[in-house]
Chain A
Amino acid sequence: MTNAQRTCWLLTLFLLSACGLAYQILLIDLIRIIQWSHFSYMIISLALLGFGASGTYLSLAKRKIKTQASSHFFMNAILFSITMVGCFLISQAIPFNALNLIWNINQSFYLVLSYITLSIPFFFLANTIGISFFQFHDRINTVYAIDLMGAALGCITAVFALYYLLPLTLLIAICGVTLITTFIISVSLTKTIRSKIISVLVIMLLTILFFTPLYQLKPFAFKPLSITLNTPKTKIIHQQSNPLGLVSVVRSPQIPFHYAPGLSLYNHTNIAPQLGVFTNYDNQQVITHFNGDFKLIQYLDYMTNALAYHLLDQPHVLIINGGTGNTALLALYHHAKHIDQTELNPIYMHLIQNTFAHYSGYLYSHHYPIKLFNTQARVYLMQSKQKYNLIELPLVDSSASQSSSTYGIENSYLYTVESLQLMLKHLESDGMISITQWLKLPPRNSLKLIVTAMKSLNTQQPEQHLALIRGWKTFTLLIKKTPFTIQNIAQINAFCQARGFDLAYYPGMQKHEANQFNILNHAQFYHSITQLLKNPQHFIKNYPFNITPTTDNRPFFFDFFKWGALSETWPLRLHAHGLVDWGYLLNIFTLAQAMILSIILIVLPIIILKKQAFRQQQTLVTTLVFLCIGFAYLLTEINYIQRFTLFFSNPVLAVAIITAIFLGSSGVGSLLTRPLVLKTQHASRYFSSVIVLIILINIIYCLCLSSFLQYILSLNAGLRWLCSLAPIVPLAFLMGIPFPYCLNKLSKNNHGNIAIAWAANGCASVIASIGSGIIALSFGLNAVLLLAAGLYLLAYLIFSITAE
Chain B
Amino acid sequence: MKYLVLLLTLIISVASAQPRHNVQQEKSALFSEIQHMAKQDRSLFGKDGIKQSVIDAMKKTPREKFVQKKDLSNAYENRPLPIGYGQTISQPFIVAAMTDLLNPQPRDTVLEIGAGSAYQAAILSHLVKHVYTLEIVPQLANRAASRLKSLGINNVTIETADGYYGWPQHAPYNKIIVTAAANHIPHHLINQLAPNGIMLIPIGNPYSVQHLTLIKKNAQNKITTQQIMLVRFVPFIRSEND
Contacts and interface: CB of A to CB of B under 8 A. Distances in A.
Interface of A: 97, 99-100, 102-104, 221-223, 226-227, 230-232, 254-256, 258-263, 265-268, 399-400, 403-404, 441-442, 472-473, 500, 517-522, 524, 527-528, 531, 539, 542-544, 565, 568-569, 572, 574-579
Contacts of A527: 239-240
A297 to B, nearest CB: 15
Contact of A576 (B203, B213, B215, B233): B233
Interface stretch (B7-15, B17-25, B223-231): B223-231
A287 B239 CA distance: 43
Nearest to A406: B205
Nearest to B230: A575
Given A100-B82, A528-B239, A578 B184 contact: no
B86 A226 contact: yes
A319 to B, nearest CB: 20
Contacts of A221: 82, 84-86
Given A97-B82, A261-B183, 18 more contacts: A221-B82, A221-B86, A227-B87, A230-B136, A254-B162, A260-B183, A265-B215, A267-B187, A403-B208, A403-B210, A442-B236, A473-B203, A522-B240, A527-B240, A574-B79, A577-B209, A578-B204, A578-B211
Contacts of A104: 79
Given A262-B183, A576-B210, A524 B236 contact: yes
B126 to A, nearest CB: 23
A104 B73 CA distance: 13
B50 interface: no
Per DSSP, chain B at the interface is mixed
A607 B204 CA distance: 47
A99 B207 contact: yes
A701 B120 CA distance: 58
B5 interface: no
A518 B85 contact: no
A724 to B, nearest CB: 37
A565 B233 CA distance: 10
A578 B211 CA distance: 9
Nearest to B188: A270
Residue from B184, B204, B230, B238 whose CB has the most chain A CB atoms within 10 Å:
B184
Contact of B225 (A230, A517, A568, A579): A517
7 contacts: A99-B208, A404-B205, A517-B225, A531-B242, A542-B239, A574-B91, A579-B233
Contacts of B79: 103-104, 574
B87 to A, nearest CB: 8
Interface string B216-228: 0000000111111
Nearest to B139: A230
A265 B223 CA distance: 8
A263 B239 CA distance: 31
Nearest to B33: A574
Contacts of B46: none
Contacts of B82: 97, 100, 221
B115 to A, nearest CB: 13
A226 B43 CA distance: 38
B215 to A, nearest CB: 7
Contacts of B240: 522, 527
B104 interface: no
B171 interface: no
Nearest to A400: B205
Nearest to A538: B242
A231 B137 contact: yes
Q: Shortest 10 CB-CB distances between A and B: which pairs? A: A577-B208, A578-B210, A263-B184, A227-B86, A99-B207, A103-B79, A576-B231, A544-B235, A255-B162, A403-B205
B226 A519 contact: yes
A266 B215 CA distance: 13
A282 to B, nearest CB: 12
Nearest to B37: A575
B239 A519 contact: no
A490 B224 CA distance: 22
Contacts of B185: 263, 265, 472
B196 interface: no
Contacts of A522: 240
Contacts of B168: none
B226 A518 contact: yes
A531 B233 CA distance: 18
A230 B224 CA distance: 33
Interface in B191-206: 203-206
A569 B233 CA distance: 8
A295 to B, nearest CB: 16
B207 A577 contact: yes
B186 interface: yes
A150 to B, nearest CB: 41
B106 interface: no
Nearest to A252: B162
Nearest to B209: A577
**B183, B190, B215, B240: most-surrounded residue (chain A CB, <10 A):** B183
A578 B203 CA distance: 10
A473 B138 CA distance: 29
Interface in B120-165: 136-138, 160, 162, 164
Given A261-B183, A472-B227, A579-B233, A521 B43 contact: yes
A102 B184 CA distance: 28
Nearest to B207: A99
B49 interface: no
Contacts of B223: 265-266, 500
A442 B231 CA distance: 11
Contacts of A518: 213, 225-227
Contacts of B172: none
A493 B207 CA distance: 37
A261 B184 contact: yes
Given A262-B183, A575-B93, A230 B86 contact: yes
A667 B79 CA distance: 51
B234 interface: yes
Nearest to B227: A520
Given A231-B137, A268-B187, A522-B240, A222 B207 contact: yes
Nearest to A578: B210
B166 interface: no
A258 B165 CA distance: 11
Contacts of A531: 239, 242
A544 B209 CA distance: 20
Contacts of B78: 574
A398 B225 CA distance: 24
A258 B235 contact: no
A519 B215 CA distance: 10
